[in-house]
Amino acid sequence: MYWTDGQVDRIYKSDLDGTNPQIVVPGLVNPIGIALDLEGGRIYWTEGQQSRRLRRADLDGLNIEDLLTGSGDLTGIALDPVNHKVYFCTWLPGLIQRADWDGTNLETLVNNLSLPSGIALDIPGGRMYWSAVGADKIQRANLDGTGVEDVIASGIDEPRSIALDLDCGKMYFSSRVGSSSKIQRANLDGTGVQDLVTEDSQTLGPPVALDTDRGRLYWLRSSSPRRNRRAYLDGTCPEDLTVSNTVLFGQVTLALDLRRPAGDMNGDGILDAMDIQLFVARLLGQ
């Protein structure tokens, strides 16, 4: 998994269980949103405030490119691998925009929004979903920006991150609740809101990401004690991952590398003794 850290201006990565954390891209300026093009082998990210750039690099952090500069305070980002488009939110002046993967053909799709933050795409359904922090809403529109509508317009406070489980018709999102934060899910039309996870002493909704094949929800807790966590998609059986606190400072967003390494027999994304046991058992016909 990869995450941005706006406090120390870096992008990190680790295995899905939190082991082997390492710096991928150092020396950035307020990195915020992050998305992975695994087929093309690239990381895309946004930078806000002083930087205001859309950038990309190889998955190992090499070959950094500036795609767009001076485009406002950029926040959430999502990729359309079918049409090779990158979608992103501009906190101020409140826009949803998209461009080709190389930054050309910039389009403004939706304007006059109230602090858009997270964004997620339903490519088969032809829609995009985003969180509007200033309006306390989850909204959606067609991929070309038409048909803007409120999906959840009450009962949430400063929604931040958003992720979609299209197979099950669910959206997952985080928001602030007083001095705590929640991860919730709902149907794609906004009905059936459920509380999944509550984190105490965190002023912002935590970044979330989904591994729907393995039935896992991941999130980042940026307040003390800082930790990366995961649970089943219904929020049960939460566990702390083994990422050291020394590389968890001011996490902003999270993206998962869900490629399975060769020999990953149990599908947990890492190679370990359990994979060897399963391989031997299969050879023995057990």
How confident is the model over 74-89, as pLDDT tens digits? 999 999 999 999 999 9
Q: Provide the pLDDT for residue 50.
A: 79
DSSP 29-49: SSEEEEEEETTTTEEEEEE-T
Percent of the chain with pLDDT over 90: 66
Q: Provide the pLDDT for residue 186.
A: 98
How confident is the model over 132-165, as pLDDT tens digits? 999 999 999 999 999 999 999 998 999 999 999 9
Which residue intervals of the chain are DSSP H helices? 273-283
Q: Which residues contact 162 (CB under 8 A, 6 or more apart)?
A: 76, 118, 119, 120, 129, 130, 131, 138, 171, 172, 173, 208
Q: Provide the pLDDT for residue 252.
A: 73
pTM given for the model: 0.88
Q: Is the pLDDT of residue 286 over 60?
A: no
Q: Is the pLDDT of residue 57 over 90?
A: yes
Average pLDDT, the chain: 88
pLDDT grade for 61, boundaries at 50, 70 and 90: very high
Average pLDDT on 35-58 reads: 94
pLDDT grade for 180, boundaries at 50, 70 and 90: confident
- Higher local confidence (pLDDT), 269 or 277: 277
> Which CATH architecture best describes the domain 2-255?
6 Propeller (2.120)
Q: Is the pLDDT of residue 190 over 80?
A: yes
Q: Provide the pLDDT for residue 280.
A: 59
* Range with lowest mean pLDDT among 27-41, 102-116, 218-232, 255-269: 255-269
pLDDT grade for 112, boundaries at 50, 70 and 90: very high
Q: Provide the pLDDT for residue 62.
A: 97
Q: Provide the pLDDT for residue 109.
A: 98
Q: How distant, in Å, are the alpha carbons of 65, 263, 286 from that of 278? A: 42, 10, 9
Contacts of range 89-92, beta carbons closer than 8 Å, 24 or more positions apart: 89/33, 89/113, 89/116, 89/117, 89/118, 89/119, 89/130, 90/116, 91/48, 91/115, 91/116, 91/117
pLDDT grade for 265, boundaries at 50, 70 and 90: very low
